[in-house]
Amino acid sequence: MAVNGFTLIDGGMGTELQKRGLKPGGLPELLNLSDPELVCSVHRDYVNAGAEIITANTFGANSKKLGSAGSVREVIRAGIDLARKAGAPKVALDIGPTGALLEPMGTMSFEEAYALFKEQAEAGAEAGADLVLIETMSDLLEAKAALLAVKESCDLPVYVTMTFMGDGRTFLGTSPAIAAATLSALGADGVGINCSLGPAETEPFALEMLKWSTVPVVVQPNAGLPEVRDGKTVYLVGPEEFATVMGRLLDAGVTVAGGCCGTTPEHIAVLRREMERRTAKRPRPPRRSVFTSARSLVCPDLGVAVIGERVNPTGKKKVKQALRTGDLGYILGEAISQEEAGADVLDVNAGLPEIDEPAVLTRLVRELQAVTGLPLQIDSSDPAALESACRVYAGKPIINSVNGREESLSAILPIAKKYGAAVVGLTLDENGIPETAEGRLKIAERILERVLEYGIPREDVLIDCLTMTVSTNQDLARETLRAVGLVTEKLRLHTVLGVSNISFGLPGRDAINSTFLANAFALGLKMPILNPLSKRYMDVVYSWRVLSGEDRGAAKFIEKFAAVPSEAAPVPGAGEKVDITQIVLSGRKNLICDAVREALENSGPMEVINGLLIPAINAAGDKFERGEFFLPQLMASAETVKLGFDVIRDRAGSGEVTSKGRILLATVKGDIHDIGKNIVKMLLSNYGYEIIDLGRDVPPELVVETVKREGIRLVGLSALMTTTVKSMADTIALLKSSGADCKVMVGGAVLNEEYAKLVGADFYAKDAQESARIAAAVFGN
């Protein structure tokens, strides 16, 4: 049935049903049971128009949407049967989005989405579908959940299409290039675009997909953009106009085509005519190294890409603490700083012996995706941690790392293959790290060989030639650099290299590091792993991009360096003598550090805290209560005090300045409005309390577990909506029944004294300032 190598899919279903009398609203999938002949008549017309693939009427047939209105298996079986009955040469099980948003921005877990899709895939396979069409996806992670669910429940071929706005992005910010690179790496049999746009608007995006997809590209546009004529939504692109643009796309290399909303059997018939006029010729699949997140794509073929190293507990006390307590805020801040400093990829490592690494790494990867758009390099030696983190990652990640040992290769390469990840190969094996460059090249060759045996493309291999400390063995620095050159030239593979280790044990580390980096670039290094917050490093990176020709016309370099003032501008207000209370009340962050340092010259840290900083923030609190300050003023004062505390902590070390108490904060399960909780967190931490923030949409069990593990005495819960106050009551009930010895304060616009009592809370905090008073009462300070 294939037409000259092309595959022809049918056109719009919903719009055809409406034309035949279906009223909008309700679940069209239920028609498979209630009005089978209507559905069958649409299918039949598409079969007669020459469509090879008929899309069953199962788009929204998941248990979340159907609810109690119908069973997934029944609706899907009926849908597949109807397409078959209409004479479909091939029947596609149609899978659309769940309608709920996935974590971390939404509240549906990856596993929940996966389970919904799996149920559909199993029902479709059981009913005899010939293939699966996952379509109209906006969220790359949801598309991935659906694709994995299908691949893990049946052997049917599967196409995945996403839907884009006029600016070439999905609602969640994914571009056609990212969708193509990611979904083809994940093993889709075709990737593409459907719905939202007409053929003309779709054309440039389809061409972009052809550049990045390694599998056939699928295009199913609407019959133009919807317009209103005489009070009705209409699609105005007629069959001939549709066919003209689609013909161009077939010439460009699109091999699977059909229509979406507004397209009719006539559109499909003329599209078939276009297919009959030509022979499918797929352009040679691109062979590019590429890594993606849901919102960005990095391709080292086109230039240097910096991997930020700071999300790693090694030698970083605050990262360790964040990983242990589960309050990941500090780490998320580090990620944002690195992105702003010019990182292109972020390495993510959660390797601490005492934590559940698979669980923590997975959560970290999930939450990082909400605050950074950069692709991630998932860094672990634990295959279970790598697999569960790769699973919830919306994109094509890098796995760091495998090495030349067979046990490493056979444990980790299947994971890379399954999730379409690129992989870093370390040039070491059972015998350790070879001293010579040639020895390391040999291991790289062996890794490459094994990678190819697993069916992973060579473009997905990155080699790390391993930096050795120059103060230990001075001759090895040159060998590492030579190895970078050999791997680049002989194997034509990209290299990564951790840079900072070179200078360990020496003074003036920046000088050695940047010289080493510059030389590694000259020998072909593409992806240095470094601290992007170091200016010296980034200067080398920006300079190399000019010297290598990557930064055309030195445009980016000029933009960056032309703006740097030759002399440091004087800090406004510096040198002024103002007392600490005044500085705090006016929120002048630029003055507080010096003032506190000066105070420390004459007084001990506790005296400065209790005699100066606490009275200052209390003064701000009093002003807020009297209505002389409004919220941002109180917050600006609190921020200023915090800087003062930081100076003392840095000076005194953590031993001397003890926290006034530990408080757990959470926005309850089901609630996503967390700004009130964030304000409370900020204020309490600036009063000297240690805060463990579990975030929003927090299940009661997690609150109880953390309270017990950390020995928490005060819990603060927030909820904004009437619909989520119940979760608050549930959380408190679980806390009490678990025998946890802690008090609970609650806040949120929906609450008042009376409601707070009703949900079982010990205290009601009407605002952030009140929460500080409650904390003082509970901890007796």
Query: Interface residues with another protein (CB under 8 A)?
Result: 23-26, 99-101, 105-107, 136, 138, 171-173, 195-196, 226, 228, 231, 233, 329, 332-333, 336, 370-371, 586-588, 627-633, 635-636, 639, 670-675, 678-679, 681-682, 720-724, 727, 749-750, 752, 755
What is the distance between the alpha carbons of residues 640 and 633, in angstroms, rounded to a whole number?
A: 11
Q: Which is nearer to another protein, 270 or 394 (CB)?
A: 394
Instruction: Give least dist CB 638 to another protein, A.
Output: 8
Instruction: Give least dist CB 578 to another protein, A.
Output: 13
Q: Which is nearer to another protein, 136 or 400 (CB)?
A: 136
Residues contacting 491, CB < 8 A, separation 6+: 441, 444, 445, 448, 463
Among 225, 201, 194, 171, residue whose Cα is nearest residue 53: 194
Q: Which is nearer to another protein, 227 or 301 (CB)?
A: 227
Instruction: Give least dist CB 308 to another protein, A.
Output: 15
Contact between 64 and 98 under an 8 Å Cβ cutoff? The reply is: yes
Backbone dihedral angles phi then psi of residue 483, each to the nearest 5 degrees: -60, -40
Strand order in the sheet with 131-137: 7-8, 256-257, 217-220, 190-194, 158-162, 131-137, 90-95, 53-55
Element at 665 (helix H, strand E): strand 662-667
Instruction: Give least dist CB 107 to another protein, A.
Output: 5
The amino acid that residue 309 corresponds to is E
From the CA atom positions of the chain, what is the Rg in Å? Answer: 30
Instruction: Give least dist CB 719 to another protein, A.
Output: 10
Q: Which is nearer to another protein, 329 or 342 (CB)?
A: 329
Instruction: Give least dist CB 261 to another protein, A.
Output: 9
Q: Which is nearer to another protein, 274 or 327 (CB)?
A: 327
Q: Which is nearer to another protein, 70 or 358 (CB)?
A: 70
Q: Which is nearer to another protein, 169 or 651 (CB)?
A: 169
Q: Which is nearer to another protein, 91 or 195 (CB)?
A: 195
What is the distance between the alpha carbons of residues 703 and 707, in angstroms, rounded to a whole number?
A: 6
Burial 203-222 (b: 16+ CB within 10 A, else e): bebbbbbbebbbbbbbbbbb
- List, in sequence order, every residue forming a beta bridge with 762; answer none if it has no partner: none
Q: Which is nearer to another protein, 130 or 339 (CB)?
A: 339
What is the distance between the alpha carbons of residues 127 and 81, in angstroms, rounded to a whole number?
A: 8
Instruction: Give least dist CB 398 to another protein, A.
Output: 23
Instruction: Give least dist CB 691 to another protein, A.
Output: 11
Instruction: Give least dist CB 722 to another protein, A.
Output: 5
Q: Which is nearer to another protein, 573 or 615 (CB)?
A: 573
What is the distance between the alpha carbons of residues 32 and 39, in angstroms, rounded to a whole number?
A: 7
Instruction: Give least dist CB 92 to another protein, A.
Output: 20
Q: Which is nearer to another protein, 553 or 574 (CB)?
A: 574
Backbone dihedral angles phi then psi of residue 12, each to the nearest 5 degrees: -60, 140
Among 642, 670, 668, residue whose Cα is nearest residue 657: 642
Instruction: Give least dist CB 77 to another protein, A.
Output: 26
Among 44, 130, 47, residue whose Cα is nearest residue 92: 130
CA dihedral 708, 712, 713, 716 (to 10 degrees): -110
Among 33, 34, 38, residue whose Cα is nearest residue 14: 38
Alpha helices in 224-380 (DSSP H): 239-252, 265-277, 317-325, 329-340, 357-371
Neighbours of 754 (CB within 10 A): 8
693: tokens are: 């923030």
Instruction: Give least dist CB 164 to another protein, A.
Output: 11
Q: Which is nearer to another protein, 553 or 627 (CB)?
A: 627
Separation of CA 605 from chain center:
41
